[in-house]
Amino acid sequence: MTEVSLPSSPAARPWYVSALLAVCAVVLVLGGAWGYARLKSPFPFYGTAYDRPTAARTFGGTDQNGQPWTFQPGGSGRTTALFFGFTHCPNICPLSLAYLEKARQALPAAQRDRFDVVLVSVDPARDTPARLKEYVDFFGKAIAVRIPEPDLAAAARAYGVAYQKADVRSETEYQINHTTGTYLIDASGRLRVLWDYTQLPQVERVVRDLTYVMENPAP
């Protein structure tokens, strides 16, 4: 009888080879996803970027010098960091103003002259123009705006801002809980980035977002 030789089965693949192949596959998938994200959004913002730049809303009030002041996004070709707060705020508002001023100072002179920081008071009962002036002047160069009710509520609503009195002790002693984001609006009047107040201390990263938006306004 002729002996027939059966083909030998391939040797089992070592476990570490299978593991290495699996890792390579995961890297390729993640790399592809990252590359797609980069193509879709070429600049990785530190703050939260708006998927589609949205037109910022116009509003008006009285500035810290007692003069009528109107915010017309895109009308002056300036970039604006806008937030809502109040002068009796114990921590978030002063920190926001301080770090935004640091970011402003870090810009080249030409860009610094085209950038505004705007504080809209959510406490018009106590924040008179004189008090607002003293407050913002302490931190540097900023615009403070007082808007009476019900126009204040309308302006806040247009930006998705909420505010409410808290810890009320009397007509003049209270705090205000409010939305703490800062809205970056480009020279075309489009909302581009939202920074949470906890992000503002990372000044270099804020400046990076700011510089990109100033150099690349929405069409």
The CATH number that applies at residue 127 is 3.40.30.10
Q: Are 130 and 32 members of one domain?
A: no
Domain that holds residue 170: 48-215
Q: Under DSSP, is residue 66 helix (H, G, I), strand (E, B) or coil?
A: coil
CA gap 22, 2 in Å, rounded? 44
Number of independent structural domains in the chain: 2
Would you say residue 210 lies in a domain?
Answer: yes
Q: Are 69 and 123 members of one domain?
A: yes
Neighbours of 22 (CB within 10 A): 10
Say what the pLDDT of residue 212 is: 97
- Whether the pTM exceeds 0.85: the reply is no
Q: Under DSSP, is residue 25 helix (H, G, I), strand (E, B) or coil?
A: helix
Q: Are 95 and 148 members of one domain?
A: yes
Say what the pLDDT of residue 24 is: 36
Would you say residue 20 lies in a domain?
Answer: yes
Q: Are 139 and 198 members of one domain?
A: yes
Say what the pLDDT of residue 42 is: 56
Question: pLDDT tens string for the chain (219 positions)?
Answer: 444 444 444 444 443 334 333 333 333 333 333 333 333 445 899 999 998 889 999 999 999 999 999 999 988 889 999 999 999 999 999 999 999 999 999 999 999 999 999 999 999 999 999 999 999 999 999 999 999 999 999 999 999 999 999 999 999 999 999 999 999 999 999 999 999 999 999 999 999 999 999 999 988
Would you say residue 6 lies in a domain?
Answer: no
- Prior bond to 150 cis, omega within 30? yes
